[in-house]
Amino acid sequence: HAADAHRTDLMTITRHVLNEQTKHAESRGDFTILLSHIVLGCKFVCSAVNKAGLAKLIGLAGETNVQGEEQKKLDVLSHEVFVNALISSGRTCILVSEEDEEATFVDPALRGKYCVVFDPLDGSSNIDCGVSIGTIFGIYMVKDKNEVTINNVLQPGKNMLAAGYCMYGSSCTLVLSTGNGVNGFTLDPSLGEFILTHPNIKIPKKGKIYSVNEGNAKNWDGPTAKFVEKCKFPKDGSSPKSLRYIGSMVADVHRTLLYGGIFLYPADKKSPNGKLRVLYEVFPMSFLMEQAGGQAFTGKQRALDLVPTKIHQRSPIFLGSYDDVEEIKALYAAEE
> How far is Cα 87 from Cα 64, in angstroms, rounded to an integer?
24
Identify what 155 binds: Mn ion, ligand AHG, none; CB under 5 to 8 Å per kind.
none
291-330: contacts with Mn ion (CB under 5 A): none
Cα distance between the two ends of the chain = 60
Residue type, 266: P
100 is an interface residue for Mn ion by CB under 5 A: no
Chosen residue from 122, 193, 252, 268 binding Mn ion by CB under 5 A? 122
248 is an interface residue for ligand AHG by CB under 6 A: yes
252 is an interface residue for Mn ion by CB under 5 A: no
164, 284 Cβ separation under 8 angstroms: yes
Give least dist CB 63 to Mn ion, A: 12
> How far is Cα 253 from Cα 244, in angstroms, rounded to an integer?
11
Nearer to ligand AHG, 20 or 119 (CB): 119
Position of minimal CB gap to Mn ion: 122
Nearer to ligand AHG, 13 or 133 (CB): 133
Nearer to Mn ion, 20 or 281 (CB): 281
Give least dist CB 78 to ligand AHG, A: 10
73, 61 Cβ separation under 8 angstroms: yes
Residue window 128-167: x/- pattern of binding to ligand AHG, with contact defined by CB under 6 A:
----------------------------------------
20 is an interface residue for Mn ion by CB under 5 A: no
99 is an interface residue for ligand AHG by CB under 6 A: no
What are 9-17's contacts with CB under 8 Å, separation 24+? 10/191, 10/193, 10/195, 11/195, 11/196, 12/185, 12/193, 12/194, 12/195, 12/196, 13/39, 13/174, 13/176, 13/185, 13/193, 13/194, 13/195, 13/196, 14/39, 16/183, 16/185, 16/196, 17/176, 17/178
Binding residues for ligand AHG, rule: CB under 6 A, are 69, 98, 119, 122-125, 213, 247-249, 252, 265, 275
